[in-house]
Amino acid sequence: MIQINYRDPRPIYEQLRDGFRQLILSGVLPPGEKLPSVRELAARLAINPNTIQRAYRELEAEGCICSAPGRGSYVCRTDAAKLARRAELTETLKNAAKELRALGLTDGELAALIKEENEHA
C-alpha cells in the first residue's frame, strides 16, 4: 500500500500523507474504506506512531479522511478534498509557470512541457 523512501528528502509524515492522498483521490481507497490503525501501520512500517498520527491529522484537515473516536479513520467523500487539492495544485502550477517565465522559458516551451507530461501519464 504505502512505501517509505528513506532517500526522499521529504519527511516521512509527508510521504505518508501524499501516498494516502494519492490513493484516496485516485479512487484506490474508496469512500468509507477503513484505514489501518495508527499502531498497526506504525508496526508494519517500523516507524513512530506519532508520525502516522501527524499524517492522519493533516489528511483529516484536508477533508480526505474522517476519524471516529474509538473506531478509527475512514476515507471521506472526496469531492471537497479533490476540489481543494485541485485549487492548491493549480496555484502551485501558476507560481511555477511565473518562475519559469522569469528564468526565460517561453509560453510555447511551457506548453510543450505540459503536453509531454500528458503523454507520459
pLDDT for residue 121: 64
63 with 47, same domain: the answer is: yes
Profile the chain (121 residues) by mean pLDDT over runs of 10 residues: 91 95 89 94 95 95 88 84 77 90 91 85 64
Asked if the structure places residue 2 within a domain, the reply is no
The number of distinct structural domains making up the chain is 2
40 with 66, same domain: the answer is: yes
Q: Is the separation of the CB atoms in 6 and 51 below 8 Å?
A: no
Q: Where are the alpha helices (DSSP H) in the chain?
A: 12-25, 38-45, 49-62, 79-102, 107-120
Confidence (pTM): 0.70
Q: Is the separation of the CB atoms in 20 and 64 below 8 Å?
A: yes
31 with 49, same domain: the answer is: yes
Domain interval for residue 100: 80-120
Of 71, 64, 77, 67, the closest CA to residue 16 belongs to: 64
Asked if the structure places residue 57 within a domain, the reply is yes
Asked if the structure places residue 63 within a domain, the reply is yes
pLDDT for residue 81: 66
Q: Is the separation of the CB atoms in 110 and 100 below 8 Å?
A: yes
Backbone angles phi, psi at 66, to 5 degrees: -125, 140
pLDDT for residue 2: 87
Asked if the structure places residue 87 within a domain, the reply is yes
Asked if the structure places residue 54 within a domain, the reply is yes
